[in-house]
Amino acid sequence: MAKDQFMDTSAAAQYLHLTTRRVAGLCSTGKLQGAVRNGKKWMIPEESVIGYAEKNPGKHNEKAKELLPFAVGNTSFPTVAKECYYVDKTMLIKELIDDHNMVTLFTRPRRFGKTLMMSMLKAFFEISDENTSSYFSGMQIWTCGNKYRKMQAKYPVIFLTFKDVKFNSWDECLESIKIIVRDEYRRHDELEKSESLDRVDLDYYDRMINGTLSDVEYSRALYNLATMLYKHYHEKTVILIDEYDTPIQQGFVRKFYNEVISFMRNFLSSGLKDNDYLAFGVLTGILRISKENLFSGLNNLAVNTVLDEKYSKYFGFTEEEVREMAKYYNKEDKLDEIQTWYDGYRFGNAAIYNPWSVASYFSNGCSPKNFWVNTSDNEILQSLVRTLTPEMAEELLSLIQGNTTYTSVNTEVIYPQIADGPDAIFSFLLLVGYLTPAGELRETDVGTYADLKLPNLEIRRVYNSEILFWVKDAVGVNAVTQIEKALSKNDAAMLQDAIGGYMRSCISVFDGSSEGFYHGMVLGLVASLSSRYYIRSNRESGDGRFDLQLEPRNHVLPGILMEFKSIRSAEGLGKEAEKAIKQIDSKGYKTDLIERGFKNIVCYGIAFSGKNVEVRVES
């Protein structure tokens, strides 16, 4: 038959108003006769597609009226696969099987599909009374051959997720972990009356269910459950632990870090190290947490991070997948908007979209906004921002304005060290999804280096709000708003009152020891103007380097130049502020703005001493 008498999967899906996954399922089960595999897609005779539509009148049109919903927040693979639009990530199963790693750790930012992936693994591998193969019959893994099909529903599975272990104290955190483990034992109630278990096993099981185990006995929970399951099923156990480091992150933020590390080290080691009853294990999290020896002795741990090429396409959506879903929802005209807001991540060599945000975008009537906010990671970012030096504040503002920063990258950064200098901060921001590589990594004798950037508009807006958190949180009145008003009115007195009020509320008299400190402080205070201005610091113009320049994005607004002075005695502040104004003129700092076509330029001389400030303005 001639090539033009075949349709590919996408064309057939569009004709039948079905998902490509559904069409692939019809091909693999022989319901679309004559279909043949062509790479990842099927080629289907047109007559088979037309014939299927004729034999199933109304069904495909009904699908056109009732499109499958996106499963925003639903992490149950069986539900999503059957009832929602699902992006097929099942080939991850094949790669896991082929790799033969005893324990694999995937570190990815929050809400990039880790929990749904773990639910998929559970549904695939776990022994079940239900025919769970039905979830996979139309998916890519089912076309890979009998080797992989034979492993479906073969193993007992231990599945734990710590994603909701977010409490203010160690006692509450530990109790939450115990409840999660206890519930998993209850899920395996087939063990309660198993004739394969001995008296010691049954006693441990009974005391687990009744909540009478000691903390030390809980540390053996993974190993003991794997042992019992092996005795009952005569198959080794798959252990899946989702978001293993959420309790650790909470311990860092809430000051019980040492306690949670001590417990988790023993708990994880019991199940994953030297366990003869372990088939394999998979963990997910944000950070590796290796330097505390959390995985001490686990020499066969395979770690996959955002920098690794392998598995890169299985967390988040690829461009092809986003185009496919836009076609399905008849929203192809929205692709540019989706890309601007939610694309830009780079995992390994794969270009990746934020899956949570894309799904939320379609579910929100294709109205863009920040969906990836208000989680515990933002809390850590806020704590980081409070420790920023002026140099770091300038780097972050430069990122907000679309520039890159060149830094060393450490994928083993740990929570207590995330504020230990720019390299640690930027590495942490990369791992949690606030930054992404702008190009190829550079391997050197002293480590890995990369140009990092903000991925997209959504993250840029997160930075705009979070960088200002320390200002808004510390000031009773909204100094930021007052500063914006003062600059819009060229009002030196209002600007002086706003900056002075902020300093009296927020800084120690010992903080204001240098011009650099005040420079960084004002840089943070004007960060909210980055949507209207390009904010530049310490750049050459004329015969010198200005302190701060605000170049309008719209020529209707005036250009702004600021020069700072710092002296010990407050008596001479007025004269120093006037000197700053004169320096702007004498050094020709306006040159850069004038050459860019700005005629209306407002100059501010700002002098500081301790908690005192005076401002002069010239326009």
458 in the same domain as 380 = yes
- d(CA 228, CA 234) in angstroms, rounded, equals 10
SS3 44: strand
Say if strands 533-537 and 548-552 run parallel, antiparallel, or are unpaired.
antiparallel
296 in the same domain as 197 = yes
- The DSSP code for 68 is P
For 148-171, write each residue's pLDDT tens digit: 999 999 999 999 999 999 999 999
Residue 369 lies in a domain: no
- d(CA 216, CA 609) in angstroms, rounded, equals 57
Show which of 65, 91, 114 is a domain's final residue. Answer: 65
Q: Which two tokens stand for residue 468?
A: 């200002």
Residue 476 sits in a domain of what CATH number? Answer: 3.40.1350
Residue 181 lies in a domain: yes
291 in the same domain as 145 = yes
Q: What is the model's pLDDT at position 208?
A: 97
Residue 32 lies in a domain: yes
For 107-125, write each residue's pLDDT tens digit: 999 999 999 999 999 999 9
Per-residue confidence band for 293, with pLDDT thresholds at 50, 70 and 90: low
Range of the domain at 336: 316-363
Residue 354 lies in a domain: yes
Length of the chain: 619
Residue 368 lies in a domain: no
Between 545 and 402, the more confident residue is 545
Q: How many CB atoms lie within 10 A of CB 452?
A: 24
Residue 44 lies in a domain: yes
Q: How many CB atoms lie within 10 A of CB 107?
A: 23
Residue 322 lies in a domain: yes
Per-residue confidence band for 478, with pLDDT thresholds at 50, 70 and 90: low
For 580-593, write each residue's pLDDT tens digit: 999 999 999 999 99
For 411-465, write each residue's pLDDT tens digit: 887 778 777 778 888 898 899 899 999 989 998 888 889 999 999 989 887 776 6
597 in the same domain as 488 = yes
548 in the same domain as 485 = yes
CB contact at 8 A, 486 and 525:
no
422 in the same domain as 276 = no
Residue 22 sits in a domain of what CATH number? Answer: 1.10.1660
288 in the same domain as 171 = yes
459 in the same domain as 478 = no
CB contact at 8 A, 104 and 242:
no
56 in the same domain as 156 = no
178 in the same domain as 84 = yes
476 in the same domain as 517 = yes
CB contact at 8 A, 137 and 82:
no
Q: Which two tokens stand for residue 12?
A: 């057939």
User: Of 265, 262, 267, nearest to 225 (Cα)?
Assistant: 267
Q: Which residue has the tokens 């209002």?
A: 494
214 in the same domain as 83 = yes
Total structural domains within the chain: 5
CA angle 388, 392, 394 (to 5 degrees): 120
Helix (H) or strand (E) holding 224: helix 221-233
- d(CA 534, CA 336) in angstroms, rounded, equals 24
